[in-house]
Structure 1
Amino acid sequence: MPAADPGGGAAPSASPSPTELGFRPGDPAFLADPYPVFRALADAGPALYYPERDLWLLTRFTDVHAALRHRGLGRIYTHRHSAADLGLPEPEAAYPRWQASEQWSLLNLEPPDHTRLRRLVTKVFTARSVAAMRPTIERICREQLGPLATRESFDVLADFAQPYSIAVICALLGVPAEAGPTLLAWSHAIVKMYEFQTTDAERDGAERAAADFIAYVRALIGDRRTDPRDDLITELVQVADEGDRLSEDEIVSTVIVLLNAGHEATVNTLGNGLRAACLFPDEWRRVVGGEVSPATAVEELIRWDAPLQLFERWVLEDGVELAGRTFRAGERIGMMFGVANRDPERFPDPDRFDIGRGDAGHIGFGGGTHFCIGAPLARLELDIALTQLAAAGPDLHWVEEPQYQPYFVIRGLRSLRVQLR
Structure 2
Amino acid sequence: MPPKPAISIDRAERRVSIDVHNPDFYRSPSSAYAEIHAHCPAFYWNEREQWYFAGYDQVNALLRDRRFGRQILHVATREELGIPSPKAHLRDFDALEEHSLLELEPPAHTRLRTLVNRAFVSRQIEQLRPDIERLSHSTIDGFERDGEVELLKTYAETIPVTIIARMLGIPVEATPNLLDWSHRIVRMYVFNPSHETELDANQASADFADYLRTIIAEKRRAPADDLLTHMITSEKDGERLSEAELISTAALLLNAGHEATVHQIGNAVRTILQSGHAPKDLFSTEATTALAVEECLRFAAPLHIFQRYALLDLDLDDRISLRKGDKIGLLLGAANVDPRKFSDPLHFNPMRNEGANVSFGAGLHFCIGAPLARLELNLSLPILFQRLPGMRLKHEPEERDSFHFHGLERLDLAW
- Work out whether the TM-score is over 0.5: yes
What corresponds to 1:5 in structure 2? Answer: none
Q: Does 1:336 align with 2:326?
A: no
- Read off the aligned partner of 1:221 and give its amino acid letter: I
Q: Does 1:312 align with 2:310?
A: no
Counterpart contact for 1:195–1:409, Cα < 8 Å: yes
Matching residue within 104, 107, 114 for 2:102: 107
> Which has the larger displacement, 195-204 or 109-118?
195-204
Matching residue within 178, 188, 197 for 2:173: 178
What corresponds to 1:8 in structure 2? Answer: none
Q: Does 1:254 align with 2:249?
A: yes
- Distance (whole Å) between structure 2 residues aligned to residue 121 and residue 263 of structure 1: 17
Deviation, 1:358, is 4.5
Deviation, 1:159, is 1.2
- Read off the aligned partner of 2:62 and give its amino acid letter: A
Compared with structure 1, are the counterparts of its residues 58 and 323 closer, same or farther at alpha carbon in structure 2 (3 Å cutoff)?
Answer: farther
Number of aligned residues: 406
Counterpart contact for 1:124–1:239, Cα < 8 Å: no
Output aligned runs, 1:153-168, within 5 Å: 153-168=148-163
- Distance (whole Å) between structure 1 residues aligned to residue 231 and residue 295 of structure 2: 33
Matching residue within 227, 234, 239 for 1:232: 227
What corresponds to 1:97 in structure 2? Answer: 92
What corresponds to 1:55 in structure 2? Answer: 50
Output aligned runs, 1:214-233, within 5 Å: 214-233=209-228
What corresponds to 1:9 in structure 2? Answer: none
Q: Does 1:142 align with 2:137?
A: yes
Deviation, 1:396, is 2.9
SS in 2 for 1:243: coil
Counterpart contact for 2:111–2:236, Cα < 8 Å: no
Give the % identical residues. 38
Deviation, 1:349, is 1.2
Matching residue within 13, 19, 35 for 1:15: 13
> Which has the larger displacement, 119-128 or 246-255?
119-128
What corresponds to 1:387 in structure 2? Answer: 382
SS in 2 for 1:85: helix
SS in 2 for 1:408: coil
Q: Moved runs in structure 1, 4+ residues, more than 6 A?
A: none
> Which has the larger displacement, 95-104 or 50-59?
50-59
Output aligned runs, 1:30-41, within 5 Å: 30-41=25-36
Counterpart contact for 1:292–1:356, Cα < 8 Å: no
SS in 1 for 2:80: coil
SS in 1 for 2:15: coil
Counterpart contact for 1:299–1:359, Cα < 8 Å: no
Matching residue within 238, 261, 266 for 2:261: 266
- Distance (whole Å) between structure 2 residues aligned to residue 98 and residue 411 of structure 1: 23
Q: Does 1:71 align with 2:66?
A: yes
- Distance (whole Å) between structure 1 residues aligned to residue 95 and residue 236 of structure 2: 25
Deviation, 1:299, is 0.8
SS in 1 for 2:413: strand
> Which has the larger displacement, 72-81 or 119-128?
119-128
What corresponds to 1:84 in structure 2? Answer: 79
Counterpart contact for 1:31–1:404, Cα < 8 Å: yes
Compared with structure 1, are the counterparts of its residues 291 and 383 closer, same or farther at alpha carbon in structure 2 (3 Å cutoff)?
Answer: closer
- Read off the aligned partner of 1:312 and give its amino acid letter: Q
What corresponds to 1:4 in structure 2? Answer: none
- Read off the aligned partner of 2:46 and give its amino acid letter: P
- Distance (whole Å) between structure 1 residues aligned to residue 270 and residue 256 of structure 2: 21
Q: Does 1:24 align with 2:16?
A: no
Compared with structure 1, are the counterparts of its residues 353 and 232 closer, same or farther at alpha carbon in structure 2 (3 Å cutoff)?
Answer: same
Compared with structure 1, are the counterparts of its residues 103 and 76 closer, same or farther at alpha carbon in structure 2 (3 Å cutoff)?
Answer: same
Deviation, 1:290, is 4.6
SS in 2 for 1:18: strand
What corresponds to 2:5 in structure 1? Answer: none
- Read off the aligned partner of 1:305 and give its amino acid letter: A
- Read off the aligned partner of 2:16 and give its amino acid letter: P
RMSD after superposition: 1.9
The answer for unaligned runs of 5 or more in structure 1 is 1-11
Compared with structure 1, are the counterparts of its residues 72 and 381 closer, same or farther at alpha carbon in structure 2 (3 Å cutoff)?
Answer: same
- Distance (whole Å) between structure 1 residues aligned to residue 410 and residue 205 of structure 2: 25
Counterpart contact for 2:14–2:40, Cα < 8 Å: no
